[in-house]
Amino acid sequence: MRDPGSTAMTATQTPLDSAPRNHDWIHRAPAQDGVERIEAFFQHNGYALHRHDTYAIGCTLAGVQSFHYRRSVRNSLPGGTMVLHPDEAHDGQAGTDEGFRYRMIYVEPALFQAALGGKPLPFIEGGLSDDPRLAAATQALLQGIDRAMDPLEQDDALFDLAHALDAVSGARPLRASADFRAAQLARDYLHGALERPVTLDELAAASGRDRWSLSRDFRAFFGTSPHRYLTMRRLDAARQSMLGGMALVDAAAAAGFADQSHMTRHFVSAYGVTPSRWLRMLKAQTR
C-alpha cells in the first residue's frame, strides 16, 4: 500500500468528513534518501494485490483499512500500527462504506540494516501491532508530511524506528554463514547497472560470493531478490520521470524497461495500480 496531508494529526483529529468524498487521492511528501511518505484516502478499493521491496509502516487515521496479508484478512483501525514486510503480497480496500484515510512510510531495508548492523530484518507477525513503542517511533516519521524532514531528524527517527521494530518483532534467525558485506557489494553493483541487464554471475564476481549463497544472503538482508531489487529501482526512476511530466513510453525507456507495457506490468505488480491511475490520484489531491 504505497501511498497522506497537512499538519501533524492524530486519528481522533481526522474525521472522514474532512477528506474529499468523491474521489480517491494520494499526497506524497518530498521523497528523500530511501524514504517515501504518503497520505491517502480511498472510498472503496485502493490497491490490487501487489508487493514491493520496502517496508510499509503506517497508521489508519480514520475508517477501517482492510487488506489481505499472509493468507488472512487484516483490519487496521486508528490507534494501531501497520508493518508490512518487504516482498509480502498485500492489497488495500475500505472495510466500511465511509472509506479510509491513512499515512504510510516506505523504508528501504538497507536503511534499517545500517542501523541494525546486519541483524535479521525485523518481522511483525500478522502485519499489525498495538505496541506503543512502535506507534511512537512511527508517528515521529509521519508528522509534518507536507515538508521534507531535516536530514538529521530523519536519520534519528529511522534509527529509533529500526530498534523499535527489532524490539517488537519475532526476528527470523540468520544462517551463521550469511555474508552481509557480500550482499552490500552486490547491492552497490546493482545501483550502477540500472539501465542494462545484469546476471547473477556478475553479482557473484563483484561480491566475491558464490551465486546461490549470494542470492540467499541478499534476500535475508534486503528482503527481496537481486532481480526484484533492480526492477524496483528502475520503477523508482520511472516514477520520478513521470512526476516530471515525461510521457509513460519515454519514462519506461529511460528507466531501462523494454517498452511501456513491460513497465506497466511491473508497476501494477509493485504498487497495485497502473501508472496512469497513480498519476490521476496524485493530481486529484491537489485540485
All structural domains of the chain with their residue ranges: 11-168, 180-223, 228-285
How is domain 228-285 classified at the CATH fold level?
Arc Repressor Mutant, subunit A (1.10.10)
Is 180-223 the same fold as 11-168?
Answer: no
- Residue 15 pLDDT more than 70? no
* Alpha carbon distance 42, 60 (integer Å): 12
Q: In what order do the strands lie in the sheet with 81-84?
A: 25-28, 35-42, 100-107, 55-63, 81-84, 128-129
Asked if the model's pLDDT at residue 9 lies above 50, the reply is no
Mean pLDDT across the chain:
87
Q: What is the CATH number of domain 11-168?
A: 2.60.120.10
180-223 belongs to which CATH class? Answer: mainly alpha
| Contact of 104 with 37, CB cutoff 8 Å | yes
What does pTM read for this prediction?
0.81
pLDDT of 234-283, one tens digit each? Answer: 999 999 999 999 999 999 999 999 899 999 999 999 999 999 999 999 88
Confidence of residue 284 (pLDDT cuts 50, 70, 90): confident
* Number of residues assigned to the chain: 287
Q: With 90 as the cut, is the pLDDT of residue 145 above it? A: no
Q: Please, what is the end-to-end C-alpha distance for the chain in angstroms?
A: 23
Residue 174 clears pLDDT 90, i.e. is over it: no
Q: Label residue 144 by pLDDT band (50, 70, 90).
A: confident
